[in-house]
Structure 1
Amino acid sequence: MGLTKEQQADLYERLIQLKEDVKGSKKKEESMLVESSEISNGVGNHIADHGSIYLDRMTEQTLDQVDDQLEGEIDAALKRMEDGTYGICEKTGKEIPYERLKAVPYTRHSIDAKKNEETTQDPNEFDRSFSDQMRDLTNRETMDQMHSDTYERLEEEQDVDVDEEK
């Protein structure tokens, strides 16, 4: 049956709007980063304040990664529109219903393919991944490493605060 020109135009507009929303979200996060940087430059901040700032920055980095991934999916969907493969499931080769595309315009898979993927996944995969991450977090060598850019920046700010007090 395929998508009508009106449906395809509607989905194109949705993808463009989603992309603009993601870019707008990134700009907000950048301004929040500047604000938290200004707070961290204060003299005599309590160590808990620095911990909160660190957590905020880590959250922002995670959200940036999610936004980047979503933007990549949107770009891929726009490319599929150009190629004429938009709306065709990459796993089954069948058409993806308009209702699904309207709900998730950047989707690559039909609902049946997605359900099949979810039921064939190893249910213990998440548990193993979580256990591996926790083992890394509790590994003394990992805990003692302070190599993140954020941590180094906080350490530099702390050193500046100490020098100013002298």
Structure 2
Amino acid sequence: MSLTKEQTQHLYHKLLDMQKELSGEKKETESMTEEVGELSNGVDNHMADHGTLVTDRMTDQTVREIDRELLEEINHALQKMKDGTYGVCEKTGQDIPYERLEAVPYARMTVEAQADMEDELDAPSFEREFHEQVKDLSNKETVDQKSSQTYEILDREQDSK
């Protein structure tokens, strides 16, 4: 079922509002040297002050990167509207339900196709091994026993030294 003209118009305006909000003027933060300079002028500086400053800076950069990526997705959706391909799953070619587009107007795929794609992007092997080790440690049968996978790995590492 294709989107109605009213639904498309509603989603178009929703995308424009999101685009305007993300493209609006952002508060420019002080440069790192200015912020550090303020801290270094004081007598009672604490390392935590510098740590907080760095953490705040990293948080700001992360938020800006997420906003930039979201803006790219919104622009892509607006381009698809111009091309007449908006609301069509990029993976399956099926119509994306209006309810999904209402929730995520820049969605490129149906929920099912998105889930399939995320399943295909399997976790890296080190991450999978980590989860197995954590699961192994929480297994009541292996707690306090040297038969767990984690103990085996630690024993191998000690033997190699």
User: Is the TM-score greater than 0.5?
Assistant: yes
Q: 1:9 to 1:93 in 2, by over 3 A?
A: same
Question: Which residue identity lines up with residue 23 of structure 1 in the other structure?
Answer: S
RMSD of Structure 2 on Structure 1 (CA): 2.4
| CA shift for structure 1 position 2 | 0.9
CA distance in 1, matches of 2:111, 2:126: 22
Q: Deviations over 1:99-129 (max 9, x none)?
A: 110000001001110121233332445817x
CA distance in 2, matches of 1:126, 1:61: 27
4+ runs deviating over 6 angstroms: none
Q: 1:125 to 1:47 in 2, by over 3 A?
A: same
| CA shift for structure 1 position 95 | 0.6
CA distance in 1, matches of 2:87, 2:125: 30
RCO greater where, 1 or 2, for CA within 8 Å and sep 6 or more?
1
Report what 1:34 is aligned to: 30
What aligned pairs does 1:81-160 form with structure 2 within 5 A after superposition?
Answer: 81-124=81-124, 127=127
| CA shift for structure 1 position 20 | 2.0
Secondary structure of the structure 2 residue equivalent to 1:88: coil
TM-score (norm 1): 0.66
| CA shift for structure 1 position 49 | 1.3
Report what 1:66 is aligned to: 66
TM-score (norm 2): 0.68
| CA shift for structure 1 position 86 | 0.4
Report what 2:76 is aligned to: 76
CA distance in 1, matches of 2:125, 2:7: 38
The aligned length equals 125
Q: Deviations over 1:4-49 (max 9, x none)?
A: 111001001110111122234x614x2xx23987653321243321
The structure richer in helix per residue is: 1
Larger radius of gyration: 2
Gaps of 5+ in 2: 131-161
Q: 1:125 to 1:14 in 2, by over 3 A?
A: farther
CA distance in 1, matches of 2:121, 2:17: 33
| CA shift for structure 1 position 85 | 0.5
